[in-house]
Amino acid sequence: MKRISWLAGCLLLIVIALGMTGCDSFSPPARTTPGEATSGQTSGIWVTGTGEVTVTPNIAILQVGVEAQETTVAEAMDKASVAMGNIGAALAERGIESEDIQTHYFNIQQRTRWDNAKDEEIVTGYRVANKMTVKIRVLPFESYTLDYKASIILDAVVKAGGDLIRIDRFNFSVEDPTVYYDEAREKATEDARAKAEKLAKQTGVRLGEPTFVSESAYAPSPYSSATYGLSSAPVPVVIETLPPTSAGEMDITLTVQIAYGIK
């Protein structure tokens, strides 16, 4: 009997141990802070700094093209090619270099309609679309302002393209924003440091070295548009009819997130 009681006691201890092990396996995960989830850091001061630089655009970007629709591909291609050739000539006459012109879209699409009597699609014609991106800049020997030259180019391409003209986008921008990003980054890190020092002072701790840094940049492009009168052939530029454009200014913004250790 003693031997049986001893075996029963051992079995009871094993069951209890297994039960305790099972409970441990279902323990809830530890909570994490936003900073810990991002970098694995569980302590410190996290701040976001912002730097902004206001700049004057030095280029204009124009996305322009033509669309022609005819009963045959050949006819549509001919019309689109003539219109695009007129636009290219107008750009060249006004100082746009070939390296600042790039084709970014070409498409031939079949046009159809449904014939209920025949219960089938009938081909009605073909549509040809050809579009390019043009970079407008003021050349060293030109006395134009950027917005005035952009107005001249817009007026010229619209009149050259006639009723086939399509303008998808026109905006002013900065060709090389690198130097402005450097300035914005310096302002952003200074802003972040100032915020961290204030937090450290208000909470009675000493600020340590940065342990995590990330950045993001944003450079919006001001959008410009105008309504144009269309013509079927190029005509001399008349200042009174130029579409109004204004280069204005644009803001280049950069933010940094920095985590500082605490001493």
pLDDT tens per residue, range 100-148: 999 999 999 999 999 888 888 999 999 999 999 999 999 989 998 999 9
**What pLDDT is attached to residue 144?**
87
Domain extents in the chain: 39-54+178-219+255-262, 59-173
Asked if residue 254 lies in contact with residue 188, where contact means CB atoms within 8 angstroms, the answer is yes
Distance, in Å, from the CA atom of 263 to the CA atom of 251, rounded to the nearest integer, reads 37
- Low-confidence winner among 23-27, 33-37, 129-133, 147-151 (lowest mean pLDDT): 23-27
How much helix, strand and coil, in percent to the nearest 5, is found in the chain? 40, 35, 25
Please tell me whether residue 116 adopts helix, strand or coil conformation. coil
Q: What is the pLDDT of residue 215?
A: 93
The tokens for 49 are 């700094």
How far is Cα 203 from Cα 16, in angstroms, rounded to an integer? 48
What value does the mean pLDDT take over residues 241-263?
90
pLDDT tens digits, 48-103: 999 999 999 999 999 999 999 999 999 999 999 999 999 999 999 999 999 999 99
226 pLDDT more than 50 = no
pLDDT of residue 40: 54
- CB under 8 Å to 68, separation ≥6 — which residues? 76, 77, 79, 80, 83, 127, 128, 164
Assign 193 a pLDDT band (cuts: 50, 70, 90): very high
CATH topology match: 39-54+178-219+255-262 vs 59-173: no
For position 118, what pLDDT does the model report? 84
pLDDT (0 to 100) of residue 15: 39
Give the pLDDT of residue 241: 66
- Residue 214: the pLDDT is 95
Q: Bridge-partner residues for 171, per DSSP?
A: 61, 223
Q: Structure tokens of 241?
A: 């009819």
Give the model's confidence band at 42: pLDDT under 50 very low, under 70 low, under 90 confident, else very high: low
Give the residue-averaged pLDDT of 11-18. 42
Q: Tell me what pLDDT residue 25 has.
A: 34
Q: Decide which of 157 and 263 is more confident.
A: 157
- CATH class, domain 59-173, is alpha beta
Q: What is the chain's mean pLDDT, rounded?
A: 81
Query: How is domain 39-54+178-219+255-262 classified at the CATH fold level?
Result: Translation Initiation Factor IF3 (3.30.110)
**Would you state the structure tokens that stand for residue 46, as one six-digit string?**
């996290």
Closest CA to 165 of 153, 150, 178: 153
Q: What is the DSSP letter of 223?
A: B
pLDDT > 70: percent of the chain: 75
> Is residue 233 pLDDT above 50, yes or no?
no
**What's the pLDDT band for 252 if we cut at 50, 70, 90?**
very high
124: enclosing H helix or E strand: strand 120-136
- Closest among 143, 168, 102 to 152, alpha carbons compared: 143
